[in-house]
């Protein structure tokens, strides 16, 4: 995909929607078309808070390929964890929709390709800052397990505070589809690496080769291996040396080392930043506000003035009678409107969370209609933080802290052990004795056997299923009585909370909330109560178990978890961030509250979540009423 760009050679930054363009994508109302590429089209939209976003709609042909969808979903999940200073974060996506799409933060600035075409080669100082910023972006992208595969000038945006690398990892999904072998080209031959052109294994060093090509293009205005037919360019990349005669001397070593044919001898990203510092004759690169030429900076100002959506309400949920749709209004950057205050109706439609049942002791009465409730956004939007929470600094990124493993105490003696809450003595014991004696006297004439049965039932379980096995509060007691009690159950004591701090739950392991000492145990698929599946999600596998992801800022508690009904069986880790909480209900009647604290750092040999866990045993709504 061409990224957040206008069509090459076009005079308008924001083009009006054409007749074949959609007007909405998954609730995002589209305001203008930004560009198009081999994988689809890019549109401008807004979040409910007014932030402009770029919606990338994948071509229908790719959506029909099952393998493409599988890889695309995998790459999107990885990309959502990339939160670098020089990347455009992925904030929303739907790989499973009729037509897959993803949304990234809109970057007001031209692509490197457009800037060079319009204004020529960039100064050496600008190229050094450009390459250093791209190297930092690749460091974060590679740290998330992604190889870009399609690093080229049109996938590098020039913002006022530095470059932004976009569309990382998406080309990998396109490699899976047969469309790439039937006339659909993904990627630009002029910026491929030799191993990529030859169909060999692609690694992080492949992106380093492309970085060298981008640097040469930015400094000279032409590709290092020339232009022409794709086959001719690919042949030169594999078998010939690049033409670097026009590359400034201060950039020659940097570009030459990046363009080495052998991936093993190319410099690391840290070495590339060091080469930029050496060429700049400074120990630290400083990025001034005017790091771009004046003509390029002027384009940023024009692109920052996002077009105002038309002053119309959102489209109705049902089609109006027989009126032909009006043509979309033309958009022009000459009528700038600050993107922070667009008219309503140009983000995903707000939704109202399901009403929770009132907590015990709260008087019932008239409640406000749903329209009066503050709507919650339909997605978590955090353009510069981690997924879903402001201020997120992903620990899995470079330099993230290593979280120590918790020294776990010993397991309980018996498997499946479930500690029971303390039983309170029944009230009204004296009155019960009087009733029992009266029953004996009343039925003495009818026979002692009947009196015996009455007394036995009086001393037995008080729940409505006393004739069955022991209730959840008396596991293993196994009653055998055949009578049916009509007495109302006594009020259960408030369950006691058990708290476990700093659990490092590794992917492929599970937790059993009923254990006296809850700790990770190997296994992810055997009717466990809570597991971290290697597919990248938390799973409530036990029969009757479920999960609920609480909203950001919603305080987790026993009452909140009992009241919530937004059940799901699994929650992908990329939807979590430090501070988010998950309610867990087990099929055995326990309630748990998971508080996410951190993710495993990038250099960790294992993938795990650090979390706190609070358990209320036998406190689930179904068990407390049985």
- Catalytic residue IDs: 150
Taking the C-alpha atoms of residue 237 and residue 187, their distance in angstroms, rounded to an integer, is 14
User: DSSP string spanning 95-144?
Assistant: TTSSS-EEEEE---S-BHHHHHHHH-SPPHHHHHHHHHHHHHHHHHHHHT
Please answer whether residues 348 and 26 qualify as being in contact, where contact means their C-beta atoms are separated by less than 8 angstroms: yes
How many other β-carbons are positioned within 10 Å of the β-carbon of residue 185?
Answer: 11
Please, which residues have CB within 8 angstroms of residue 568's CB and are 6 or more apart in sequence?
A: 540, 546, 547, 548, 549
How many other β-carbons are positioned within 10 Å of the β-carbon of residue 239?
Answer: 10
Please, which residues have CB within 8 angstroms of residue 262's CB and are 6 or more apart in sequence?
A: none
Cα distances (angstroms) measured from residue 154 to each of 78, 455, 506, 539, 608: 22, 86, 39, 40, 36
Taking the C-alpha atoms of residue 254 and residue 149, their distance in angstroms, rounded to an integer, is 20
**Structure tokens given for 222:** 């032409």
Please answer whether residues 20 and 325 qualify as being in contact, where contact means their C-beta atoms are separated by less than 8 angstroms: no
Q: Taking the CA atoms of the chain, what radius of gyration do you get in angstroms?
A: 32
Please answer whether residues 41 and 360 qualify as being in contact, where contact means their C-beta atoms are separated by less than 8 angstroms: no
Q: Whose CA is closest to 228, among 210, 240, 219, 218?
A: 240
Helical H runs in 198-288? 204-220, 230-239, 249-258, 269-279
Residue given tokens 């000038």 in the structure block: 153
**Structure tokens given for 302:** 């024009």
Give the SS3 label for residue 498: strand
**Structure tokens given for 306:** 């996002």
Please answer whether residues 266 and 205 qualify as being in contact, where contact means their C-beta atoms are separated by less than 8 angstroms: yes
Taking the C-alpha atoms of residue 46 and residue 30, their distance in angstroms, rounded to an integer, is 8
Taking the C-alpha atoms of residue 538 and residue 577, their distance in angstroms, rounded to an integer, is 13
């Amino acid at each position: 995909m061409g990224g957040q760009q206008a069509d090459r050679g076009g005079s308008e930054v924001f083009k009006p929607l054409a007749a074949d363009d959609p007007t909405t994508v998954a609730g995002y109302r589209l305001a203008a078309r930004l560009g198009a590429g081999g994988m689809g089209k890019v549109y401008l939209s807004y979040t409910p808070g007014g932030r402009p976003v770029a919606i990338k709609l994948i071509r229908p042909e790719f959506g029909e390929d099952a393998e493409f969808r599988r890889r695309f979903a995998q790459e999107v999940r990885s990309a959502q964890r990339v939160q670098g200073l020089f990347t455009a974060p992925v904030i929303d996506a739907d790989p499973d929709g009729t037509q897959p799409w993803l949304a990234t933060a809109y970057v007001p600035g031209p692509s490197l390709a457009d800037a060079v075409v319009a204004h020529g080669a960039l100064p050496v100082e600008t190229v050094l800052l450009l390459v250093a910023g791209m190297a930092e972006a690749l460091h974060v992208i590679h740290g998330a397990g992604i190889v870009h595969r399609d690093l080229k000038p049109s996938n590098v945006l020039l913002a006022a505070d530095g470059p932004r690398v976009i569309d990382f990892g998406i080309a990998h999904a396109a490699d899976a589809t047969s469309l790439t072998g039937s006339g659909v080209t993904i990627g630009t031959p002029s910026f491929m690496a030799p191993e990529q052109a030859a169909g060999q294994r692609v690694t992080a060093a492949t992106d380093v080769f492309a970085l060298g090509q981008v640097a040469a293009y930015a400094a000279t205005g032409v590709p290092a291996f020339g232009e022409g037919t794709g086959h001719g360019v690919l042949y030169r990349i594999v078998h010939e040396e690049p033409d670097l005669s026009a590359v400034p001397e201060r950039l020659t070593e940097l570009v030459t080392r990046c363009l080495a044919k052998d991936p093993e001898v190319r410099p690391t990203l840290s070495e590339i930043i060091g080469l930029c510092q050496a060429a700049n004759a400074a120990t630290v690169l400083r990025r001034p506000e005017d790091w771009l030429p004046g003509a390029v900076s002027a384009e940023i100002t024009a692109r920052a003035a996002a077009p105002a959506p038309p002053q119309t309400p959102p489209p109705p949920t049902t089609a109006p009678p027989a009126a032909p749709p009006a043509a979309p209004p033309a958009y022009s950057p000459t009528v700038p409107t600050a993107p922070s205050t667009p008219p309503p109706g140009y983000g995903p439609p707000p939704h109202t969370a399901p009403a929770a049942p009132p907590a015990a002791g709260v008087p019932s009465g008239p409640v406000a209609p749903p329209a009066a409730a503050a709507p919650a956004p339909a997605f978590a939007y955090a353009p510069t933080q981690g997924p879903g929470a402001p201020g997120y600094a992903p620990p899995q990124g470079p330099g993230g802290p290593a979280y120590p493993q918790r020294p776990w105490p010993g397991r309980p003696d018996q498997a499946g052990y479930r500690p029971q809450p303390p039983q309170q003595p029944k009230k009204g014991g004296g009155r019960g004795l009087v009733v029992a004696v009266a029953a004996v006297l009343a039925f003495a004439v009818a026979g002692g056997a009947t009196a015996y049965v009455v007394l036995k039932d009086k001393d037995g379980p008080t729940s409505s299923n006393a004739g069955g096995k022991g209730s959840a509060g008396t596991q293993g007691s196994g009653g055998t009585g055949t009578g049916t009690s009509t007495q109302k159950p006594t009020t259960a004591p408030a369950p006691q909370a058990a708290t476990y701090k700093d659990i490092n739950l590794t992917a492929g392991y599970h937790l059993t909330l009923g254990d006296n000492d809850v700790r990770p145990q190997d296994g992810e698929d055997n009717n466990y109560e809570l597991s971290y599946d290697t597919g990248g999600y938390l799973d409530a596998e036990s029969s009757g178990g479920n999960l609920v992801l609480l909203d950001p800022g919603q305080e987790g508690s026993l009452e909140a978890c009992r009241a919530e009904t937004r059940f799901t069986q699994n929650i992908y880790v990329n939807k979590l961030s430090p501070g988010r909480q998950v309610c867990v209900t087990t099929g055995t009647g326990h309630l748990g509250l998971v508080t996410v604290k951190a993710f495993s750092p990038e250099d960790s040999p294992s993938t795990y979540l650090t979390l706190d866990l609070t358990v209320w045993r036998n406190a689930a709504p179904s068990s407390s009423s049985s």
